[in-house]
Amino acid sequence: MVCRHFGVCGGCAHQDMADAEYRMLKRKLVVDALSRHGVAATVSDVVEVPPGTRRRASLKAKKGDGGALLGFHAAQSHNIVDMLECLVLSPALSVLVPRLREMLTSLLRPRETTNLHLTETATGVDLSFRWSRQNDSVTLAELARWATKLGLARVSAHNETVIELVRPSVRFGRADVLVPLDAFLQPTCEGEAILQTFVRDALSGAKRVADLFAGCGTFTLPLAEASRVHAVEIEASMLDALAGAARTTSGLKPVTTEKRNLFHRPLGESELAQFDAVVLDPPRAGALAQVQMLARSKIKRVAYVSCDAGSFARDARVMIDGGLRLGNVVPIDQFLWSSHIELAASFERA
């Protein structure tokens, strides 16, 4: 099935490919990246999440003569494709789109534009605005009115909460995490579960784990069901959410937290010596400074989750040269029909 916007919308580039050909393309992204860095590895078949599961989306909107346009940018253009369907978004987000268009038609001024960030959580949709206007009293009152009308969990603008009817939350393992504003979450619950299982299996039996680029605790909290975990993250709001969930969840091993910029101040050899294993899930740029320290350390096991095959391959080369052996690499397609691929991999030191 091909979306009616395919070929115009910039969101999906490969929706018209046969399934087998498409999976080969996605796997080749990983194989080619590893090859460019001289990394020999077994790359598994691609694990795909189902269509209609994306719980996060960044949409563009503009007030036109006939009302608001709402959707993704057209391919290689800043024109907005007015979204009438999307085979990627979750049902909750898809159903919300026409209602948001109604809201924006009422709310936006002529020719005014805005970016909307939508996140489906366990307690409702979290909506964040980015626009040029100030948060004046009239705007805030209108946003609050529409949030109530649409049944949104929370609405924020310019990183300021306008109204919170229900605190957005997600569950990691047995822990419920109260989601801070603009927090990073995996694109899909299905992909998140695959990654969590991979990381737990890769680090099974480790007594003390360092979770680097920990976010809100995607891996920290499930791992803490069996291991002591030290979570390191630069964003204080996400670290506070993680720590709060750890405190209020029974049956977890001790969880400690540290606010730290791992790009500028990675954990050094003496610090890493405290741990049996490390999990890291860095941004798209990878974690070169940190993996250089991992390569020099005596750390025995590493689980690496990456949303960019190129930066992963570079980092893998560093760790392999430092004596860590790369196991299977598993491509995980959370970015359906795009040119992006996520992956998970494990390393062990002999």
Render pLDDT for 34-44 as a digit per residue (tens, 0 to 9): 999 999 999 99
Tokens of 197: 């299982």
Tokens of 269: 């050899």
Q: Which residues contact 209 (CB under 8 A, 6 or more apart)?
A: 203, 223, 227, 228, 229, 230, 275, 276, 277, 278, 279
The Cα 23–Cα 4 span in angstroms is 22
Question: What 3-state DSSP class applies to 21?
Answer: helix
Tokens of 281: 């899930």
CB distance 346 to 42 below 8 Å = no
Position 302 scores a pLDDT of 98
Report the pLDDT averaged over residues 207-214: 98
- Classify residue 339 as exposed, middle or buried by CB count within 10 Å of its CB (0-12, 13-18, 19+): exposed
* Residue that finishes a domain, picked among 134, 166, 198: 166
The Cα 209–Cα 276 span in angstroms is 6
CB distance 63 to 104 below 8 Å = yes
* Catalytic site residue from 3, 9, 86, 307: 307
Indicate if 249 and 200 belong to the same structural domain: yes
pLDDT at 136 over 90: no
Q: Which residues contact 341 (CB under 8 A, 6 or more apart)?
A: 26, 29, 30, 46, 309, 331, 332, 333, 335
In this structure, is residue 8 part of a structural domain?
A: no
Q: Which residues contact 182 (CB under 8 A, 6 or more apart)?
A: 117, 128, 156, 159
Indicate if 41 and 60 belong to the same structural domain: no
Question: What 3-state DSSP class applies to 130?
Answer: strand
**In the structure, what pLDDT confidence band is assigned to residue 337 with cuts at 50, 70 and 90?**
very high
Position 1 scores a pLDDT of 81
Write phi, then psi, for 92 (nearest 5 degrees). -60, -40
Indicate if 73 and 37 belong to the same structural domain: no
In this structure, is residue 14 part of a structural domain?
A: no
Position 159 scores a pLDDT of 87
In this structure, is residue 5 part of a structural domain?
A: no
The predicted model scores a pTM of 0.96
**What is the domain extent for residue 91?**
56-121+124-166
In this structure, is residue 106 part of a structural domain?
A: yes
Report the pLDDT averaged over residues 294-310: 98
pLDDT at 132 over 90: no
Position 350 scores a pLDDT of 84
CATH number at residue 83: 2.40.50.1070
Q: Which residues contact 116 (CB under 8 A, 6 or more apart)?
A: 58, 59, 60, 61, 70, 100, 127, 128, 129, 130
Count: domains in the chain: 2
In this structure, is residue 116 part of a structural domain?
A: yes
Indicate if 192 and 323 belong to the same structural domain: yes
pLDDT at 134 over 90: no
| pLDDT tens-digit readout, 253-301 | 999 999 999 999 999 999 999 999 999 999 999 999 999 999 999 999 9
pLDDT at 229 over 90: yes
Indicate if 131 and 35 belong to the same structural domain: no
216 tagged catalytic: no
Indicate if 194 and 288 belong to the same structural domain: yes
Report the pLDDT averaged over residues 159-175: 96
Indicate if 259 and 231 belong to the same structural domain: yes
Indicate if 69 and 133 belong to the same structural domain: yes
Q: Considering Cα of 181, then 184, then 185, then 188, what sign does the dihedral take?
A: positive
In this structure, is residue 180 part of a structural domain?
A: no
Whose tokens are 């049902």? That residue is 91
Position 308 scores a pLDDT of 97
In this structure, is residue 312 part of a structural domain?
A: yes
Whose tokens are 């690499």? That residue is 329
Indicate if 345 and 271 belong to the same structural domain: yes
| pLDDT tens-digit readout, 67-97 | 999 999 999 899 999 999 999 999 999 999 9
CB distance 185 to 179 below 8 Å = yes
Indicate if 227 and 304 belong to the same structural domain: yes
Q: In sequence order, what are the beta bridge partners of 54? A: 89, 188
CATH number at residue 262: 3.40.50.150
* Residue that finishes a domain, picked among 101, 135, 166: 166
Indicate if 343 and 208 belong to the same structural domain: yes
- Average pLDDT across the chain, whole number: 96
In this structure, is residue 318 part of a structural domain?
A: yes
* pLDDT above 90: percentage of residues in the chain: 95
Whose tokens are 């907005």? That residue is 80
Indicate if 78 and 38 belong to the same structural domain: no
Write out the H or E segment, with its range, that includes residue 229.
strand 228-233
